[in-house]
Amino acid sequence: MVMTTFKRIIKGGFLNFKRGGLVSWAAVLVVTITLSVITLVIFLQAILHFSLNQIKDKVDVTIYFTLNAPENKIILLKSSLEKLPEVASVSYTNKEEALQNFRDRHSNDYPTIQALDEIGDNPLSAYLNVKAREVGQYESIANFMNSNNILALGSESIVDHINYFKNKPIIDKLNAIISGAQKLGFLLTLLFVIISIIITFNTIRLTIFISKEEIGVMRLVGASKMHVRGPFMIEGAIYGFVATLITLILFWPSMAWLGANMTDFLGINMYNYYLSNFFQIFIIILLSGIGLGIISSYLAVRKYLNK
């Protein structure tokens, strides 16, 4: 009995969609626009996330050691830093590597290289390059460095200086920019989605308004609320499913064009992102479309069932 009722509801939903004609396709078009906005927001968030990660990767803290700092103490400090939950990675550059890096950077600066050769000894010290998981965590890492007795290990400190305090104003500004961009992205996403949902709801309500007399007749002959509401909810789900397919098809050539022409500008290949995350995007858009159609239909029909 339950399966028979369920089959009738599904059949009724497809019949409603078919009989709706242009009105049904108008509803599909509006849902497609809504899902396109949601998809666009997903891609904008991906670009924003990639850009913020690029900024984060350029921020670090460098710990410069004294010229006579024993390497075993530096390695011990490196191990201590790697155990901190705020630390993403720590790289060690010894004196010889620091000298070679300096020579490579100034290979075209003859006076500097000549002055370095005249000195004879290596004037550069070893250093640790520390990257935090989040930009706002560099301060706690710097505070750890200031309070940690491992820097001295019973003798004078092996650290010459830490560049965090010199770069702190820049790091704080970047942290504020990243935080603001994330909040703005969330607010814009929420705004676009709410506007799209309102437009979709009103469009589906209009399609159901056309069937208000049919709903009244069904109620008069004793049809249950589920028998009345069910076909319209299935119809709403069909809107969402068809709109999902159209949305994904429309974005395919758009992402291919962006991947071929805008990768250098955006910093990310959107076509590769689209392909590699296709399944996740499909599920998000499908659930959004079907959920939007079902919920909008449910709320729209309720008005006529409560009369």
Domain range enclosing 90 = 67-157
The answer to whether residue 166 is domain-embedded is: no
In a domain, 162, yes or no: no
Q: Do 296 and 198 fall within a single domain? A: yes
3-state secondary structure of 129: strand
Task: Report CA 267 to chain centroid distance, whole Å.
Answer: 15
Q: Which of 14, 42, 9, 36 is nearest to 239 (CA)?
A: 14
Closest CA to 190 of 27, 23, 41: 41
Same domain, yes or no: 183 and 255: yes
Token pair belonging to 265:
């500008």
Give yes or no for a contact between 109 and 116, defined as CB atoms under 8 angstroms apart.
Answer: no
> Does some domain include residue 262?
yes
Is 208's pLDDT higher than 80?
Answer: no
- Does 138 map to a domain? yes
CATH number at residue 147: 3.30.70
Reduced to 3 DSSP states, what percent helix, strand and coil does the chain have, rounded to the nearest 5? Answer: 75, 5, 15
Which comes out higher in pLDDT, residue 198 or 280?
280
Judged by average pLDDT, the poorest of 151-155, 194-198, 241-245 is 151-155
* pLDDT at residue 305, rounded to an integer: 64
Same domain, 51 and 188: yes
Last residue of a domain, one of 130, 157, 184: 157
Q: What tokens appear for 98 in the block?
A: 């620091």
User: Is the same domain home to 40 and 72?
Assistant: no
**pLDDT (0 to 100) of residue 147:** 64
Q: What is the pLDDT of residue 245?
A: 93
Q: Please, what's the b/e burial string for 62-89 (b: 16 or more CB within 10 A of its CB; e: otherwise)? A: bbbbeeebeeebbeebeebbeebebbee
The reported pLDDT for the residue numbered 81 is 87
What is the rounded CA–CA span in Å between residue 18 and residue 298?
Answer: 19
Q: How do residues 122-148 score in pLDDT, each as one tens digit? A: 788 888 888 888 877 887 887 777 665
pLDDT score recorded for residue 153: 46
Residue 163 contacts by C-beta under 8 Å, 6 or more apart in sequence? 61, 62, 64
Categorize the per-residue pLDDT at 283 as very low, low, confident or very high, splitting at 50, 70 and 90.
very high
Last residue of a domain, one of 123, 157, 191: 157
99 and 208 together in one domain: no
Specify whether 101 is located in the same domain as 147: yes
Tell whether 186 and 233 lie within a shared domain.
yes
DSSP structure string for 180-239? HHHHHHHHHHHHHHHHHHHHHHHHHHHHHHTTHHHHHHHHHTT--HHHHHHHHHHHHHHH
Is 303's pLDDT higher than 90?
no
Q: Which of 10-24, 123-137, 291-305 has the highest mean pLDDT?
A: 123-137
Mean pLDDT rounded to a whole number for the chain: 79
Lowest mean pLDDT among 93-102, 132-141, 220-229, 263-272: 220-229
Is 62 a member of any domain? no
Q: Is residue 127 part of a domain?
A: yes
Of 108, 123, 157, which one is at a domain's C-terminal end?
157
Domain shared by 32 and 94, yes or no? no
Answer yes or no: do 48 and 71 share one domain: no
Residue 165 falls inside a structural domain? no
pLDDT at residue 280, rounded to an integer: 92
pLDDT at 152: 46
Residues whose CB is less than 8 angstroms from the CB of residue 164 and which lie 6 or more positions away in sequence, other chains included: 61, 138, 139, 141, 142, 171
| Confidence check: pLDDT of 196 > 80 | no
The helix or strand, by DSSP H or E, that contains position 42, with its residue range, turns out to be helix 22-57
Task: Say if residue 294 is in the same domain as residue 193.
Answer: yes
Looking at the structure of the chain, the number of domains it has is: 2
Provide the pLDDT confidence category of residue 223 given band limits of 50, 70 and 90. Answer: low
Q: Give yes or no for residue 293 having a pLDDT over 60.
A: yes
Considering the domain boundaries, does residue 29 fall inside one? yes
Could you tell me what percent of the chain has a pLDDT over 90? 7
What's the pLDDT band for 149 if we cut at 50, 70, 90?
Answer: very low
**Same domain, yes or no, for 37 and 179?**
yes
The answer on 227 and 205 residing in a single domain is yes
- Burial letters 247-278, b for 16+ CB under 10 A, else e: bbeebeebbeebbeeeeeebebbbbebbeeee
Q: What is the DSSP letter of 307?
A: -
